[in-house]
Structure formats: C-alpha cells, structure tokens
Amino acid sequence: MAPQDRPPSVDRLARSLVGIDLPQPLLVDAARAAIAAGDPESAAERARRIQRQLLAPVINGTGVLLHTNLGRAPLAWTQSAHYSNLELDLVTGGRGDRQAGAAALLARACGAEAAMVVNNCAAAVMLVLAALAEGRDALVSRGELVEIGGGFRVPDVMAWSGARLVEVGTTNRTRQADFAAAVSHPENDVAVVVQVHQSNFRVVGYTEAPRTAELAGLGPPLVADIGSGLLDSRCGWLNGGPPPWLDSEPAARQTLEAGAALVTFSGDKLLGGPQAGVIAGRADLVEACRRHRLARALRPGSLVLAALQHVAMAYLRNDGDAIDFWRMAALTPRQLRQRLSVYDGLKDVTTAATPGGGTLPTVEIESVGVAVTGDHTDQLRSLPRPIIARVADGATIVDLRTVHPEDDAEVAAALRRIAGPPG
Ligand SMILES: *Cc1c(COP(=O)(O)O)cnc(C)c1O
C-alpha cells in the first residue's frame, strides 16, 4: 500500500460487507482483522470464513453412518417455542420428573427396570462409578482399559469418579477366575465389576474374556459400558431383522438379561438419537445415580429429552423407518442402485460404507457410490451446502447410503459441474 493510501475506516469497510449474512459485530471483526493485517481487500474472505465456522447442515457423502465430525447420528427433530411439562406432573399438578419421558421409555424398550438420561456416555459411566464406587474399588479387565476416542479413556473416567481402579488379568486374556480372585482378595473393597465394550478396536489371536453372565455371578453389581446403544439384538424395528454386519455387537436388553446390573450407552450412536448418555438397569442403582450430587451437573435439557423421547417412541412402535440412522443403515444395495437414475451420466461404483462412531471397527456395509475422476473434495466442501466426500484410487466418491434421497438431485448437479461436459 502506498503511504498516501490511508487504510479505510473499520466502520466503512464493515458496511461494505452488508451483502454477507452476518450480524454487524462479526462484520466489524472481519474488517478490523483485515485492516490489522494490512490487507483490507481480505475483509470479505475473512467474513466468509467466520460464516463457515457456524454450525450448519452438510451432506454426508462419506459412507460413514456415524461420523463423529459430522455429529454422529442424523436426526430430524423440530419443535415449537412452547413451554413443556419438563418438571411438572400434569396429573397431580406437583413437581414432575424430567426422567419420566425419554428415560422411562428407553427402559421399557430395552427391558430395564429403570433408566436415566445424562449428557453423553462418558458422563453416564462417570456418574455410575461415582454413585456406586466412590472411594471403593472397581474391577476392570486390563484388556478393557481402552481409549474410545474424543478423550474417553476408561482409567481417566474412573479417576474422575473417585472410584479406585483395580486392574484384572492381562491385555489379551482375562478369565472369570481372575475377577473372582480380585473380588475375594482381603485388601480389596470391591463395589462394582466393570465391563467395557472394546468399541473401536479388536484384539485377535490368543485372546479370552469372560462373558457377561460369568461376571454377573461374582457378587458385586456388574456395570456394562456397551457404548453403542443397540437396544435389542433382535432389531424388531427392522423388517429384515438384524443386519449381518451387526455381528456380535452387545445390546442393552441381552446384556441386562445376562445379568448386568446396569448398562451405559450413547444416545447418538446405534440408538440413532441426539447426543446423550443412558444408564439403564436395576431400579435401586439407577435411583442412586439420580440422587448423586453430580447428577444435577450432567442432566440434559428439554430439547435433547424431547428428541430422545421421539426416538424411544419409534423403538416402542418397532418403526425403524422413523429413525434416520436405521433407515440409512438398512438400505439394500438394490434400493441404493434405484437412486442412480438421478445421477444419470455419472460413473457409479460399489463402495464399502461403515457404521463409524467408534462402533464395529472392522465392519463394512456394501453400498453404492458415484465417482468423479480427481480430488474435488475441497470444491464440494466449499459449496453453500457443503458436500463431504472422500477420495479413493484418484477419484472423488460420494456414497449414496449416507446421502438423504431428497439431496440426490443437488449432489448430482454438483458432481456434474465438477465432472465437466461428458466426452
Ligand atoms: C462411544 C463410547 C463411549 C463414549 O460415549 P460418548 O457418548 O461419546 O461420551 C463410552 N464407552 C463406550 C464403550 C463407547 O463406545
């Protein structure tokens, strides 16, 4: 900039950005940053960058059904600005219970005596251990002292709860007898036995782990952190029954039937709901969690509880089509292929979608995608409605399994633009 060119005033520069849909203070921030950098011309670009940091819908073309970066399970839920009976008992007019809706319905859906909803599964595990084992011992197999991702490390969560971690067995092989010895050891004061699902990895080869029923018979209550939130391994909400890829994923109902006193799981993984954590099982133990002083700090608000109640009702109606995650997960390759007519002129490919979300790490779900030669992921991500695609073998691929059918025409148009005219 030549010395005689005075930098424009922040206000004037901000006013020149009115075409960008942001509140005035944010336009001022962009203008001020541009001037401070000696590059007033960059103000519009900076404002657009602020815009791109806002939470907004994206089209998931990755084929990862529960993509942690994309908010895990997709969920359609709207509500009006009305008040709700969150803590009002409409029958008596007295103080109500926010756990009477979603939590009670989820308990019903997985055959638990009672349930409680908190903000996520990490909070659920921490609260259970704080309520049942604070200052006492909690037994965990060395093979289950895992990190699930996003900072959930079993030993850390146990430490926050105030429970003392007692490690049992070895990384690859732990037997019921190891647990029995730890329970009866005179120096231990065992309050709970904890079983953690190795959600995001597999140990193969020379391995052994006690079954839920074996651990449940040891005496202290068994707490099973199943993580994924599969409610029932029979999947009565799916017309075709359980999909083959569900494999040996532990389910809440069957884990409780096998004798677990409590299960904990996420709301936004295989359950297909909003971010939440669920504690379900024996009524007296759930009650101890509800009474614990941490419960107040971990409770979800009415937005989450209303959305979760909606999902729980769908399960009780056996209506998997009403749960977006299951609707997408259950699509057959044939159904996906039928949508290819919208993508006319583009190259279709067979793909391997995945459940994602730190569940079922080795599982692939046969799927269908559309491919365009070259890496165009930046371009697709910069669209007004960003399309998140992936690159394989030098081509940009959009997997149709995770794309809402109503977005097909938009995705097809975007792919045709980057592919250029045919021929
Ligand atoms: C995913 C997972 C968690 C963490 O759940 P959040 O809801 O993300 O807090 C804890 N335990 C297991 C076994 C999991 O799979």
Q: Is residue 258 part of a domain?
A: yes
Tell whether 339 is covered by a domain: yes
Please state the rounded mean pLDDT for residues 24-45. 97
Distance (Å) from CA 377 to ligand 1 centroid:
29
For a pocket test of ligand 1, which of 199, 270, 271, 363 has the largest count of ligand atoms closer than 8 A to its C-beta? 199
Q: Which residue of 146, 153, 197, 266 sits with most ligand 1 atoms within 8 Å of its CB, as the best mutation to test the pocket?
A: 266
Q: For 418, which DSSP code?
A: H
Please state whether the predicted TM-score (pTM) of the whole model is above 0.85.
Answer: yes
Asked if residue 337 has pLDDT above 80, the reply is: yes
CA gap 218, 193 in Å, rounded: 8
Q: Clarify whether residues 171 and 281 are in a common domain.
A: yes
Verify that 269 and 404 share a domain, yes or no: no
SS3 percent helix, strand, coil of the chain, rounded to 5, is: 40, 20, 40
Tell me which of 292, 320, 348 is where a domain ends.
Answer: 320
The stretch 118-129 carries a mean pLDDT of 97
CB burial class (10 A; 0-12, 13-18, 19+) of residue 203? middle
> What spacing in Å lies between the alpha carbon of 158 and ligand 1's midpoint?
14
Mean pLDDT of 318-328: 97
What are the tens digits of pLDDT across the range 284-308? 999 999 999 999 999 999 999 999 9
CA distance 80 to 303: 11
Q: pLDDT digits over 183-199, tens only? A: 999 999 999 999 999 87
Percent above pLDDT 70 for the chain:
98
Given 260, 294, 320, the domain boundary residue is 320
CA dihedral 399, 378, 67, 364 (to 10 degrees): 40
Statement: residue 126 has pLDDT above 80: yes
Q: Quick: pLDDT tens for 64-90.
A: 999 999 999 999 999 999 999 999 999
Looking at 320, 338, 372, the residue that finishes a domain is 320
Q: Which atom of ligand 1 is nearest to the CA of 120?
A: 7
Give the pLDDT band of residue 125 (cuts 50, 70, 90): very high
Residues 166 and 303 in one domain: yes
Instruction: Return d(Cα 195, Cα 301) in angstroms, integer.
Output: 29
| CATH number, domain containing residue 251 | 3.40.640.10
Report the alpha-carbon distance of residue 171 to residue 320 in Å, rounded: 37
Q: Which residue did the predictor score with more confidence, 205 or 256?
A: 256
Task: Output Rg (C-alpha) for the chain, integer angstroms.
Answer: 25
318: left (phi over 0), alpha (psi -120 to 50) or beta: left
Residue by residue, DSSP assigns 365-409 as: EEEEEEEEEB--HHHHHTSSS-EE-EEETTEEEEEGGGS-GGGHH
What band does 136 get if pLDDT is binned at 50, 70 and 90?
Answer: very high
| Same domain for 151 and 191 | yes
Q: Are residues 180 and 135 in the same domain?
A: yes
- How far is the C-alpha of 330 from the C-alpha of 20, rounded, in Å? 41
Instruction: Tell me how far apart the alpha carbons of residues 256 and 250 are, in angstroms, rounded to a whole number.
Output: 10
Distance between CA atoms of 368 and 351, rounded to whole angstroms?
A: 5
Q: Please report whether residue 305 resides in a domain.
A: yes
Same domain, yes or no: 43 and 185:
no
pLDDT of residue 6: 72
Residue whose CA is closest, atom 13 of ligand 1? Answer: 227
Domain count across the chain: 3
Q: How close is the Cα of 366 to the center of ligand 1, in Å? A: 25
How far apart CA 369 and CA 417 sit, in angstroms, is 17
> CATH number of the domain that 360 lies in?
3.90.1150.180
- Residue 368's DSSP bridge partners are 350
Task: Give the helix ranges, DSSP H, for 208-294.
Answer: 212-216, 252-257, 283-291
Atom of ligand 1 nearest to the CA of 196: 13
Q: How many CB atoms lie within 10 A of CB 394?
A: 9
Structural contact between residues 197 and 227, judged by C-beta atoms closer than 8 angstroms: yes
What does the pLDDT look like over 101-113, one tens digit per residue? 999 999 999 999 9
Q: Residue 326 — very low, low, confident or very high, per pLDDT cuts 50/70/90?
A: very high
User: Considering the domain boundaries, does residue 4 fall inside one?
Assistant: no
pLDDT given at position 377: 98
**Closest CA relative to residue 224, chosen from 153, 276, 281:** 281
Nearest CA to ligand 1 atom 1: 227
Distance separating alpha carbons of residues 356 and 148, to the nearest angstrom: 12
In sequence order, the 6+-apart residues with CB closer than 8 A to the CB of 229 are 252, 265, 266, 267, 268, 269, 270, 271, 273, 278
Residue 411, in any domain of the structure: yes
Give the integer Cα–Cα distance in Å for 121 and 181: 29
Range of the domain at 245: 102-320
Quote the CA–CA distance of 279 and 286 in Å, as a whole number.
7
**More reliable by pLDDT, 155 or 377:** 377
Distance 384 CA to ligand 1 centre (A): 32
Under 8 Å CB-to-CB from 163, ≥6 apart: which residues?
Answer: 129, 130, 132, 133, 134, 135, 136, 137, 138, 191, 192
309 domain-assigned: yes
Which two structure tokens, joined as six digits, stand for 262?
């409590």
Residue 66 lies in a domain: yes
Q: How far apart are the C-alpha atoms of 346 and 412, rounded to whole Å?
A: 8
User: Which pLDDT value is given to residue 37?
Assistant: 96
In a domain, 1, yes or no: no
Q: How many residues does the chain have?
A: 423
In the chain, % of residues over pLDDT 90? 87
> Is residue 333 domain-shared with residue 412, that is, in the same domain?
yes
Q: What is the pLDDT of residues 374-398, one digit of tens each?
A: 999 999 999 999 999 999 999 999 9
Residue that is written with structure tokens 């069957």 in the block: 254
In the structure, what pLDDT confidence band is assigned to residue 423 with cuts at 50, 70 and 90? low
State which amino acid sits at residue 221. Answer: P
**pLDDT score for 422:** 63
